[in-house]
């Protein structure tokens, strides 16, 4: 594992690391923010999953999360959004293949060799992070858009793994929207029953855990009606009796300007759960 970037930031350090991933069969980069408190002892970790087209860079350069992580003593870990490099297949368009891993384990060729982002984010990456950085066992997860889908799905699929969950503008029902239908057809095949294991609105029905889902959604988001449809999550949670706090934020769009405006709220939410 090799450190390829390091910048002082709010009294801590914003780093980027590269390593050979056995799960994904390629080299991967991830970003880690170490707050000042990490110099004195272990800190909880918040995993951040980014959206379509992003790399490990978008969140760390645009979200303004470091100041809040420094305030609360949280380590932030932001992986890339897909496997990368020679031999990794790509799709047509920005919404399939590179930059569009959808945080699942693909079962169909040619994707099934490398596209195993669920196992990478849930198992390999935390093992690596815990081995190299001063972490406690308390983990939270959050993300944006495709990464909001990832945060919800990873938390719902892995009860007890994450103490706190939040999402910005998540794809809550990928089985029922164009982005998800395209990706799931490619990665998982035509059998829609197999899609349920990767759809937050399906998973919430049988969720083994009851961690509250905090969701922020801008009502001026250009993808709201066609791709995001947060009301489906509210309905599914209502039926299942699962706790969800869905906040419609007037005037906000799908950009990092939205994330930056509310990331402080989210980090405070995670800090309460992770340090409590």
Would you name the residues annotated as active-site residues? 145, 221, 254
Do 46 and 129 contact (CB within 8 A), yes or no?
no
Do 118 and 151 contact (CB within 8 A), yes or no?
no
Judged by beta carbon, residue 185 or residue 249, the one nearer a copy of itself is: 249
In 3D, which of 139, 87, 94 has the Cα closest to residue 115?
87
Query: Smallest distance, Å, CB 19 to a copy of itself?
Result: 22
Task: Tell me the CB-side half-sphere exposure of residue 42, using CA atoms within 13 A.
Answer: 14
In 3D, which of 158, 165, 179, 264 has the Cα closest to residue 229?
179
Task: Tell me the CB-side half-sphere exposure of residue 203, using CA atoms within 13 A.
Answer: 25
2: cis peptide before it, omega within 30°? no
- Please state, in angstroms and rounded to a whole number, the distance separating the CA atoms of residues 64 and 66: 6
Query: Smallest distance, Å, CB 262 to a copy of itself?
Result: 9
- Contact region with a copy of itself (CB under 8 A), list: 43-51, 57-65, 80-88, 102-110: 57-65
**Lookup: tokens for 245:** 């706090």
Judged by beta carbon, residue 66 or residue 82, the one nearer a copy of itself is: 66
| Residue 252 touching a copy of itself (CB under 8 A) | yes
- Please state, in angstroms and rounded to a whole number, the distance separating the CA atoms of residues 167 and 211: 13
For a copy of itself, the binding residues in 17-46 under the rule CB under 8 A are none
Q: Which of 21, 23, 55, 66: binder of a copy of itself (CB under 8 A)?
A: 66
Query: Smallest distance, Å, CB 67 to a copy of itself?
Result: 7
Judged by beta carbon, residue 167 or residue 259, the one nearer a copy of itself is: 259
Query: Smallest distance, Å, CB 247 to a copy of itself?
Result: 14
- The owner of tokens 């959808």 is 102
For a copy of itself, the binding residues in 181-240 under the rule CB under 8 A are 218, 220
**Lookup: tokens for 86:** 């020679």
| Residue 261 touching a copy of itself (CB under 8 A) | yes
**By CB under 8 A, how many residues form the interface with a copy of itself?**
24
What residues line the site for a copy of itself (CB under 8 A)? 7-11, 14, 61-62, 64, 66-67, 218, 220, 249-253, 255-258, 260-261
């Amino acid at each position: 594992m090799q450190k390829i970037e390091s910048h002082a930031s709010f009294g801590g350090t914003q780093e980027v690391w590269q390593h050979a991933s056995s799960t994904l069969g390629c080299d991967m980069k991830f970003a880690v923010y170490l707050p000042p408190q990490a110099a004195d002892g272990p800190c909880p970790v918040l995993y951040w999953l980014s959206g379509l087209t992003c790399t490990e860079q978008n969140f760390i350069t645009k979200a303004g999360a470091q100041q809040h992580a420094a305030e609360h003593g949280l380590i932030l870990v932001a992986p890339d959004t897909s496997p990368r490099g020679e031999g990794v297949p790509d799709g047509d368009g920005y919404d399939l293949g590179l930059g569009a891993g959808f945080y699942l384990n693909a079962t169909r060729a040619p994707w099934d060799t490398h596209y195993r982002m669920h196992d990478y984010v849930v198992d390999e990456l935390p093992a690596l992070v815990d081995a190299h950085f001063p972490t406690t066992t308390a983990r939270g997860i959050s993300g944006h858009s495709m990464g909001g889908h990832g945060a919800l799905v990873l938390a719902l699929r892995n009860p007890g793994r994450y103490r706190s969950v939040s999402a910005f503008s998540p794809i809550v029902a990928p089985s029922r929207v164009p982005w998800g239908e395209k990706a799931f057809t490619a990665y998982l095949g035509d059998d829609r029953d197999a899609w349920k294991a990767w759809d937050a609105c399906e998973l919430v029905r049988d969720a083994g855990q009851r961690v509250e889902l905090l969701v922020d959604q801008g009502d001026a988001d250009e993808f709201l009606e066609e791709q995001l449809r947060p009301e489906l999550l509210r309905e599914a949670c209502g039926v299942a009796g699962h706790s969800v706090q869905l906040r419609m934020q007037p005037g906000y769009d799908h950009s990092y300007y939205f994330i930056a405006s509310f990331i402080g709220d989210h980090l405070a939410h995670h800090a309460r759960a992770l340090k409590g």
